[in-house]
Amino acid sequence: MKSDPVKTFVSELERFPSMTLGEVLKITSKELKNSGIVEYSREARHLVCHVFKIDAIKLIGNESLNADVGGVKKLSKMVRRRLNGEPVSRIIEEIEFYGLPFKLCENTLVPRSDTGTLVDAVLADFQSKTNDSFRVLDIGTGTGAIIISILYNMPRSIGTATDIDSKTLKMARFNATEIGIVDRLKFVKTNWCSDVREKFDIIVSNPPYIKSAIIPKLAIEVKGFDPLIALDGGIDGLDAYGNIFTQCSQNIANNGRLYLEIGYDQCETVVEMAKQAKWKFVRLIKDLGANDRVLVFEF
């Protein structure tokens, strides 16, 4: 029987706990590289900086400092978790999105950089109108990354964030508080926006859009650690869009816009669903990888 490489793995961090920060970084990078992790250098630096509470720039100038034994042991456990497929962001319970730090919990999806395309689209349409205050609704907010990033960059605007999960909303509120915009953001526990009665100039959502049958085929970092409810879009991956188009027609203000993240192959289908629900297609926006990413609608 073939042994599990992670179970039989013995980290140099465990065998030689007395070392400098530079040695710790070198060993961590090597162990991640040997396990096949592509961005081993960046991830190693991220883990080391987190454990020893030092930023990347200061680490460069302090690699000769002794690393405390407790920190080395803690880092070793984190390396083992990474080798089991757990993403670094899950391990340290934090990720940067749109230049801002967001805490994570097991109930929240890790925001991906491609979702920044949605924030870019909103800011391109509304940020230049500096004298106006806009009302923003984020459906299925998760960490709050999208709406918090928008409100942070549009300081005169206010918003509402919805989610079906109480723990997720608590995490989003924490992030809004830490980033300093919580006084402009309301949180509502509801299914999509069924209990929201106000009108909004901007409605955004990154709903679950992966086909149920595809989920078992996803990378372990996703299928093993992201919440299923934030991934599974049903048999065809489109369940959420039907709910959003139906419900949001009551929440969109005159001249308001709806911004939706989509899967790379869903553009035509989602646009047709929108037209059937009386929404007007405005434009498609591609992400940095040239994939279809965001659809914009008016009602």
Q: How confident is the model at residue 10 (pLDDT cuts 50, 70, 90)?
A: low
9 and 147, same domain (yes or no): no
Q: Is residue 60 part of a domain?
A: yes
pLDDT (0 to 100) of residue 145? 98
Per-residue pLDDT tens for 123-173? Answer: 999 988 767 899 999 999 999 999 999 999 999 999 999 999 999 999 999
pLDDT at residue 130 in the model: 63
Question: DSSP letters of 92-139?
Answer: HTEEEETTEEEE--TTSPPPPGGGHHHHHHHHHHHTT-TT---EEEEE
Q: What is the pLDDT of residue 137?
A: 98
Percent of the chain with pLDDT over 70: 96
Residue-wise pLDDT tens digits, 75-98: 999 999 999 999 999 999 999 999
Same domain? 162 vs 266: yes
What is the CATH classification number for the domain harbouring 51?
Answer: 1.10.8.10
| Mean pLDDT, range 251-256, rounded to an integer | 96
pLDDT tens digits, 194-242: 999 999 999 999 999 999 999 999 999 999 999 999 999 999 999 999 9
Q: Same domain, yes or no, for 130 and 84?
A: no
97 is a domain residue: no
Assess whether 209 and 186 both reside in one domain. yes
Counted domains in the chain: 2
98 belongs to a structural domain: no
Q: Is 86 exposed, middle or buried (0-12, 13-18, 19+ CB in 10 A)?
A: middle
Nearest residue to 16 via CA among 5, 26, 7: 26
Q: Are residues 229 and 294 in the same domain?
A: yes
Residues 162 and 201 in one domain: yes
Quote the domain boundaries for residue 63: 5-92
We report the CATH number of the domain holding residue 175 as: 3.40.50.150
| pLDDT in the model for residue 38 | 93
Residues 192 and 172 in one domain: yes
Residue where a domain stops, chosen among 92, 121, 138 = 92
The verdict on 129 and 200 lying in the same domain is yes
Identify whether 231 is part of a domain: yes
Q: What is the pTM of this model?
A: 0.92
**Is 268 a member of any domain?**
yes
Mean pLDDT across the stretch 233-261? 96
